[in-house]
A and B are shown apart, each in its own frame.
Chain A
Amino acid sequence: MNKKLISINKLSAGTKNHQILHDISFDINECEIVCLLGQSGSGKTMTALSILNMLPVNVMQTSGTILYDDKPFNENMRGSFISMIMQSPASCFDSVFTIGAQFKDILISNNKEYSIERVCSMIEKVELKNPHDILNSYPFQLSGGMLQRVMIAIALSLDSKVIIADEPTSDLDIAGQKEIIDLILKLKNENKSILMITHNLAVAKSCADKIAVMEQGRIVDFFNKTELFAEKRHRYTKELISANNWLYENKWDIDLGENNAEM
C-alpha cells in the first residue's frame, strides 16, 4: 500500500460565529490524485488553505489534526514538502517583475539551486516553447493558460512531494483545460501527489483517482473514481452526475466527447 503523505483527521475550522468546515477527514497517498469536488462556497479552498496552514486571519482551526508524513506542521514544509497552484494565475504574479525574476526569487527563498538551464528545462517540461522569451516577459504579456503552466513549472521545480492545485482549469477554455489536465496527469507519473480542487465533474472524472465531494463544509462522499456510478453514492453526488449528463444531451443529437463515452 502507498504511503500516507498527508492525513487529515476531523478538521474543523471557522470564524467566531460561523463554522466553515465540519469534521473533514481524508488522506492523500503517494502518487495519487485526490479531487475535492463541490460548489462554490462549499469549503474546498478553505480545506486547502488549512492544509497549508495559511487560513485567513479571522478563520481559525477549531479542532482536528493534520499530519504531514506522520509529522506535525512546520514552516519549512511549505515549498519543500507541499506547494500550491493558485486559482487565478493572473493575480498571483507581480506585474512589475518579469517571470524570470519571480521564478528566481521563489527558488532562492526556498533554498533550491537556481540556474537558467534548470529553469528553462522546467519550462520546457510544461510544454511551453521559447523558455527564454517567457522568462523575459511580464505576467500580463502571457495568456491565462501560459501563466497557469508557468505556475506548474514553479511548483515542479520546488520539487515538493504534494501539489495542491486550486481550480487550475477554471479560467481556461475547453481545449486549454484539456491540456492542463494532461499536464497534471504527467505530474503524477513523476511521483507527485496532487490535491485537485474543482467544481467541474468532467475535470474530476478525467484526472482523479479518488474523489471527495463537499457540500456546505462537509465531505459528504469519498470514493474511488471507479465507484462513481455505484448505487450507494450520496444524493448530492447523484445530483452532480445527472446535471453533468444533462449538459451533454442536446437537440442536435450529437454525441459529445470521448469522456462521455468512457463514463
Chain B
Amino acid sequence: MLKCENISKIYNDKSWFSKKESIKVLENISFHLKQGRSMGFAGRNGAGKSTLMRIILGLEKAEEGSVIFMGKNIHSLKYNELKNIYKDMQVVFQNPQSSMNPQFTVYDVIKEPIENYYNYKKDEIKDIVLNLLSAVKLSEDKLYKNIMHLSGGEQQRVAIARALSVRPKLLILDEALSSLDMIIQAEIIKLLEELKEKYNLSYLVISHDIRIILKLCDDIIFLENGIIKDRFFIEQGINNPSDSFKNMMIV
C-alpha cells in the first residue's frame, strides 16, 4: 500500500552570518507497508520521525527517494491529485487543540471533510456524523458543543472521527496519544483497535512510547539519528535489538 524508497532529507541552514551548514535528518529510509498491516516508527526526540511523516504526507519534499502510495508517487502529484490521495490517507496530530478551528462545533469539524469530498444532502451528512460520533464513543449531546469546551481526550476522539469521515485506508497517528493521561490513553487505544477491525484500517503510528507501538503495530521501525537502526516484524518477534532500542523498552 505504501512504499518508501531511499528517502533522504537534508536541511540547509540558510543563516546570513554563520557558514553554510547542512544537516542530514534522514538517510536512505526504505520500507514497504502492506495492506492490512500497521507500522510503527519508534525513536527518541529528534530522530527524524516527524520529518518522515511530513514527507510521506507530501507536506515536505525529500532530496532523494520516492513515496509511492497506492501506486502513485506522492511527490510528483499536482494539488488536485494530492487531494484525492488524502481521501485514502488521513492524519491525527499530537495536539488536537491546534489542529482544529477553535470557533467550530464538533459537528462543523467532522462534516467539513465530508462536504469537501462527497456530495451528500444535509440530513445524510448528519447521519454520517452521528455514526462517527458513536464509533468514537462520544455522546450525541456533544454534537453542537464548541470544540474548545471539550477535554483533551474528547478532542482527540473528535480528531479521529474527522480523520475517519472520508473513509481512509491509512491513518497516520503522529504522537496522537502522548499528551493524554493514562486512563484515556488506554481507552483510545482500545477504540483504535476496534476501529481497525470495523473499517479495515492500517495505522502508521509515530511515537516515543514503545508501549503504544507494540499495542497497535505489526511492523516496527526504529529510527536513530535519521537512519533505520532496527526493523522488526511481529511474525519474527524482536530479534537482536540494538542497545538503544533496548533502552526504549525500559518504560
Which residues on A are within 8 Å of B, measured CB to CB?
39-41, 143-144, 172-176, 178, 199-202, 239-240, 243-244, 246-254, 256-260
Stretch at the interface among B102-110, B132-140, B164-172, B179-187: B179-187
Tell whether B99 is near chain A: CB-to-CB under 8 Å.
no
**Interface pairs (12), CB distance under 8 Å:** A39-B184, A40-B181, A174-B248, A175-B247, A176-B45, A202-B251, A243-B183, A246-B186, A250-B214, A254-B214, A257-B250, A260-B251
Could you tell me if B251 and A39 are in contact, using CB atoms closer than 8 angstroms?
A: no
A40-B151, A174-B210 given as contacts; is B248 within 8 A of A247 (CB)? no
Nearest CB of B to A176, in Å: 7
B-chain residues with CB within 8 Å of residue A174 when the two chains form the complex: 208-210, 248, 250-251
Instruction: Give the contacting residue for B249; candidates A144, A247, A254; CB below 8 A.
Output: A254
Known: A174-B250, A257-B250. 19 other contacts (CB 8 A): A40-B152, A40-B181, A144-B45, A174-B208, A175-B247, A175-B248, A176-B44, A176-B45, A199-B181, A200-B181, A243-B182, A247-B211, A250-B211, A250-B214, A251-B214, A251-B234, A254-B237, A256-B251, A258-B250
User: B250 near A178 (CB under 8 angstroms)?
Assistant: yes
For residue B238, CB closer than 8 A to chain A, the reply is yes
Q: B215: CB under 8 A from chain A?
A: yes
Interfacial chain B residues near A240, Cβ < 8 Å:
182-183
B228-251 vs A: 1/0 string, CB under 8 Å?
A: 000000100110000000011111
Q: Flag if A259 contacts B45 (CB, 8 Å).
A: no
Q: Which of B151, B152, B208, B247 has the most A CB atoms < 10 Å from its CB? A: B208
- Chain A residues near B250: list those with CB within 8 A: 174, 178, 256-259
A256 x B214 contact (CB < 8 A)? yes
Complex: chain B residue closest to A38, CB-CB = B181
Q: Is the interface of B mostly helix, strand, loop or mixed?
A: helix
Distance in angstroms between the alpha carbons of A172 and B44 in the assembled complex? 9
Determine whether the beta carbon of B238 is less than 8 Å from that of A257. no
State A209–B248 Cα separation when bound (angstroms).
25
- Of B189, B248, B251, the most chain A CB neighbours within 10 A belong to B251
Residues 198 to 230 of chain B near chain A (Cβ within 8 Å): 208-212, 214-215
A247 near B208: Cβ-Cβ < 8 Å = no
A252: which B residues are within 8 A, CB to CB?
Answer: 214, 234, 237-238
Check B45–A143 contact: CB distance below 8 A.
Answer: yes
B238 contacts A200, C-beta separation under 8 Å: no
A200-B182 contact in complex given A175-B248, A259-B250, C-beta closer than 8 Å: yes
State how many angstroms separate the Cβ of A152 from the closest Cβ of chain B: 19
Shortest C-beta distance, B222 to chain A (Å), equals 13
Contact A247 B45 (CB under 8 A): no
Instruction: For residue B242, give the distance in angstroms from its CB to the closest CB of chain A.
Output: 14
- Contact partners of B248 in chain A: CB under 8 A: 174-175
The answer on a CB contact under 8 Å between B215 and A175 is no
Give the distance in Å from the alpha carbon of A247 to the alpha carbon of B209 in the complex: 10
From A172, A239, A247, B185 is in contact (CB under 8 Å) with: A247
